[in-house]
Structure 1
Amino acid sequence: MATRSSLATGIGRVLIAVYGILALAATGRSVVQIIEKFSFAPFAYTLSAVAAVVYIVAMIALIAPGRFWYRVACVTIGFEMTGVLVIGTLSLFDRQLFPDDTIWSYYGMGYAFAPLVLPVAGLWWLRKHHRTAVTTEPTPSAVAAGE
């Protein structure tokens, strides 16, 4: 029997839901931007697509149990935090680089700063559940025994 990820309980469920919502928002936004007006701001629209992939992978990593997915979540959410801070800062100072907004522009202002708060909450949640997340992985003997 598969074990349930300890990350997908309590506040973790809220994080997963918010990652899912932002994954849908960023995917929809990037698809429309790339199809309709890619030549206007190719860098910004590509970043929107990257953000969509980051949100999708982070959501999956928070749902899936085991050490591997815990590490994927840490890397993905760390990358997200870096992206929000770098893109947020660049969008403040270089308007030519961002003639149109991305989900991470101005630290996620267009999304009520959720892109800025979410990785902080995600990294906190991962840190809080480090031990249980990496020890809930079923052992090979448990899998063989059908546990």
Structure 2
Amino acid sequence: MATRTPRRMTGIGRVLVIVYLIMALAATGRSFVQIVSEFDQAPLAYTLSAVSALVYILATLALVFAGRRTWYVVAWVAIAFELVGVLVVGTLSIVLPELFQHPTVWSLFGNGYLFIPLVLPFLGLWWLAAHRGHAGRAEPAPQTAGAAS
């Protein structure tokens, strides 16, 4: 029997996972270098870069396994957190630039990453909403002997 690629992992779903993977790798590399080489210069900014890396890793895994109900929920939470993070950090980096003298992945709404951090969570949430029916459903509760059918 041939296995089929789930509908969620074709087309835009596959592209979305690849972009999340690239962002996960980029943010992880950036935060690692920043923390190892100059953490004492900007601990807040570099910690935020590490947080963004963890969020991108989690979102990537959750999107890959989003056919399972638990991972689907994790994807929603991770991508919503990502959206809030990029909006808050992006706004603060404009309003209070002294907090972000050293750039993070999300500062200035991700301008160092061609604004992909700003656009990506909107696409991710749209994709999850569009594929909500493809997430695995929780198993139905067993019927009791006296329950009406």
Which stretches in structure 1 are left out of the alignment for 5+ residues?
Answer: 140-147
Q: 1:39 to 1:71 in 2, by over 3 A?
A: same
CA deviations 1:79-126 (Å, max 9, x no partner) are 000000000000001122111000000000010000000000000000
Give 1:53 shift: 0.3
Aligned equivalent of 2:129: 127
Contact 1:7 1:133 in 2 (8 A): no
Q: Say which structure, 1 or 2, has more relative contact order (CA 8 Å, 6+ apart).
A: 1
Separation in 2, partners of 1:102, 1:56: 16
State the number of aligned residues.
Answer: 138
Aligned equivalent of 1:142: none
Letter in 1 for 2:89: I
- What are the equivalent positions in structure 2 for 1:63-142 lying under 5 Å apart? 63-64=64-65, 65-135=67-137
Contact 1:5 1:63 in 2 (8 A): no
Aligned equivalent of 1:17: 18
Aligned-partner SS, 2:80 = helix
> Which of structure 1's runs of 4+ aligned residues deviate more than 6 A?
none
Q: Cα RMSD (Å) of the superposition? A: 2.1
TM-score by length of 1: 0.87
Give 1:138 shift: 8.5
